[in-house]
C-alpha cells in the first residue's frame, strides 16, 4: 500500500518553496481548503484530476511528489497527460505486458482494468503507483507527461 505521508511531505515542501499557503492552493485548484489540509496530513490522496492540477500548478514530477524519486525535475517541460485509457493500453503493450498477465499476477482485477482501459474510471493515486511499479515505468511516463 502506498504511504500517503510521502505525498503530504512533498506537497508541503513545494508549497513552502513557492510561498503558497493552503487557502491559496485550494483557490488555485478550485477545491475545498479541508482537502488540502487532509493531503498535507497524509489522511487523503487527491483524486486523479486534482492530482494532475497539483502537478501542473507546481510543474513538478509525479514521481517526486509521490516520494518515488528525489529528482524534482524542476525545469522540465511536461506534456499534458493523455486520456488515461488509451495511454494505459499503449504502456501495457510497450512494456511487454498484457491485461491477462496483470490480472494473473493478482495485483489488478479485470473490472478495474476494464474501467481504466475503457475510460469509464480513473485510477487512484495508489493504483497509479502500483501500475507504474508493475509495468516498470515512472508515473510521469504512465500519465504521458514525459
pLDDT string in tens for the chain (146-residue length) = 567 789 999 999 999 999 999 999 999 999 999 999 999 999 999 999 999 999 999 999 999 999 999 877 667 889 999 999 999 999 999 999 999 999 999 899 999 999 999 999 999 999 999 999 999 999 999 999 99
CA–CA gap between residue 14 and residue 116 (Å, rounded): 29
Do the beta carbons of residue 135 and residue 142 sit within 8 Å? yes
Query: What does each C-alpha distance from 72 to 75, 102, 125 come to in angstroms?
Result: 9, 30, 18
CA–CA gap between residue 37 and residue 33 (Å, rounded): 6
The reported pTM is 0.92
Supply the angle between the helices 22-29 and 48-58 in degrees, to the nearest 10: 110
Amino acid at each position: 500500500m502506498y504511504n500517503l505521508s510521502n505525498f503530504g511531505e512533498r506537497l508541503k515542501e513545494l508549497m513552502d518553496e513557492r510561498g503558497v499557503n493552503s487557502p491559496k492552493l485550494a483557490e488555485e485548484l478550485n477545491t475545498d481548503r479541508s482537502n488540502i489540509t487532509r493531503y498535507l496530513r497524509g489522511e487523503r490522496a487527491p483524486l486523479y484530476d486534482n492530482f494532475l492540477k497539483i502537478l501542473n500548478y507546481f510543474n513538478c514530477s509525479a514521481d517526486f511528489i509521490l516520494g518515488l524519486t528525489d529528482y524534482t525535475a524542476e525545469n522540465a517541460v511536461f506534456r499534458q497527460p493523455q486520456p488515461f485509457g488509451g495511454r494505459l493500453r499503449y504502456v501495457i503493450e510497450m512494456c511487454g505486458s498484457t491485461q491477462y498477465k496483470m490480472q494473473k499476477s493478482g495485483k489488478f482485477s479485470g473490472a478495474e482494468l476494464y474501467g481504466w482501459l475503457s475510460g469509464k474510471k480513473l485510477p487512484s493515486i495508489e493504483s497509479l503507483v502500483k501500475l507504474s511499479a508493475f509495468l516498470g515505468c515512472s508515473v510521469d511516463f504512465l500519465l504521458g507527461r514525459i
